[in-house]
Structure 1
Amino acid sequence: MTPPKILLASSSIYRRQLLQKLGLAFDWASPDIDENHQPEESPAQLVYRLAEAKAHRLASTYPNHLIIGSDQVATLDNCILGKPHTHINAVAQLRSFRQREVTFLTGLCLFNATTNRTQTSVESYKVRFRNLSDEQIESYLQREQPYDCAGSFKSEGLGICLFEQLAGDDPNTLIGLPLIALTRMLATEGVDPLSQPANFFHVSN
């Protein structure tokens, strides 16, 4: 029996690298959606909505696929962390994180474009920041320049050095694709990565 086709609705190289861990064949494409935060929408509601919107957006183009949508925000005191855009703003953000806890919320959706079944969840992962010196903050920003990244850091890059402690069910959630939850969703659709032949792996765009 031929396994269902899988599509990752994302242009993120980091999400592609994570999905590759499962050894499944998949294509990827970037969805074009409005990601603006709606009034009165909580961070969890935002990532839930956007994960579904990304998966559903590509359904007409990929009608025979299982489509994976994912969206992530970082929050401090339940407020969404914005992108700094400038060095000065990034320094201020990272200074405010010293010895504080930032929560990553990742919305995950698996949409079966053939049956219209949608599975969606929100996974959380918490990081506690080190008591970073101004010199450490400056060194990090000069090396990675995460000015277009919410919270002024890239958790999938050198940003891991900013953290003192991590807490959550799945460390992949921190990077943006909760593989444990995704494996459960795929199983509901009859896809078990452990049951696929060793030569099944393939990625295309």
Structure 2
Amino acid sequence: MSHVHEISLNSSLNLPRPLVLGSTSRYRAELMHRLRLPFEVIGPEVDETPLAGELPGALALRLAVAKAQAVARQRPDAAVIGSDQVADLHGEPLGKPGTHERAVAQLTRMSGQTVRFHTAVAVVCQDIGFVQHEVAEVAVRFRTLTEAEIEHYLHAEQPYDCAGSAKSEGLGISLLDAIDNDDPTALIGLPLIRTCRLLRAVGMPI
């Protein structure tokens, strides 16, 4: 399914090609609105199962590129953005929990630990053979959490569609001791500094 996001600006935009976000994530769509560029949303059909022995950063990058390429095959004229995020607990990938029970298990394991979030972004334009990508790494130190804190947080925010079971842009910030990164929106799901760099490289005016 495709959705078009129109942006109203004082001056008209004359983009060199259509811009497509290859993602069904509402968080990434919300971040894309910050760039004030009209874009379309097309959900990619990609198997997100990790390969045997695949490290979290490599998994995030492979899936970001695969998502962009899958959508670019449908829209070869467009600049297509693909992105993926994988939480990394001591080398073990942690995905979206999906259920309350899995979220409890994730947060219990992450309590008092430093978790690295690998957020990859890729831009593909099939017509001109453009494929570039980058990965942002965010180190997140969790407080030592009680069972009651975990339950209260999960019932309040229900972050079951978020890798690592916490939304740093919301109440999840209360679970943390520190965040260390160089691209502030990477933890939310799309590193906009890197995204802008890739879009400029494909000829998009940012």
Shorter-chain TM band:
0.7 to 0.9
Residue 64 of structure 1 is matched in structure 2 by 77
2:78 and 2:36 map into 1 onto residues whose CA distance is: 17
2:125 and 2:139 map into 1 onto residues whose CA distance is: 30
2:113 partner amino acid: R
Residue 174 of structure 2 is matched in structure 1 by 161
Residue 30 of structure 1 is matched in structure 2 by 43
> 86-95 or 171-180, which moves further after superposition?
86-95
5+ residue gaps, structure 2: 1-13
Residue 5 of structure 2 is matched in structure 1 by none
Compute the RMSD of aligned alpha carbons. Answer: 1.8
Cα 1:141–1:56 change in 2 (3 A) is same
Cα 1:147–1:59 change in 2 (3 A) is closer
Cα 1:91–1:40 change in 2 (3 A) is closer
Alignment of structure 1 residues 1-80 onto 2, 5 Å: 2-80=15-93
Q: Does 1:174 align with 2:180?
A: no
Q: Does 1:137 align with 2:146?
A: no
5+ residue gaps, structure 1: 194-205
Alignment of structure 1 residues 121-136 onto 2, 5 Å: 121-136=134-149
Query: How many residues are treated as equivalent by the alignment?
Result: 193
> 51-60 or 157-166, which moves further after superposition?
157-166
Say if 1:125 and 1:171, in contact at 8 Å, map to a contact too.
no
Please state whether the residue corresponding to 1:171 is helix, strand or coil.
coil
How much does 1:141 deviate?
1.4
For residue 91 of structure 1, the aligned residue among 96, 101, 104 is 104
Residue 152 of structure 1 is matched in structure 2 by 165
Q: Does 1:107 align with 2:120?
A: yes
Report % sequence identity. 45
TM-score, normalised via structure 2 length: 0.86
* Partner deviation per Cα, 1:122-178 (whole Å, 9 max, x = no partner): 111111112223221111111223345443323344322211111000111001111
2:26 and 2:163 map into 1 onto residues whose CA distance is: 17
Larger relative contact order (C-alpha < 8 A, sep ≥ 6)?
1
Cα 1:57–1:77 change in 2 (3 A) is same
Cα 1:148–1:66 change in 2 (3 A) is closer
Cα 1:188–1:97 change in 2 (3 A) is same
* Partner deviation per Cα, 1:21-49 (whole Å, 9 max, x = no partner): 11111111100111100112111111111
1:167 and 1:108 map into 2 onto residues whose CA distance is: 19
Say if 1:14 and 1:156, in contact at 8 Å, map to a contact too.
no
1:104 and 1:163 map into 2 onto residues whose CA distance is: 14
Residue 120 of structure 1 is matched in structure 2 by 133
> 87-96 or 174-183, which moves further after superposition?
87-96
Please state whether the residue corresponding to 1:58 is helix, strand or coil.
helix
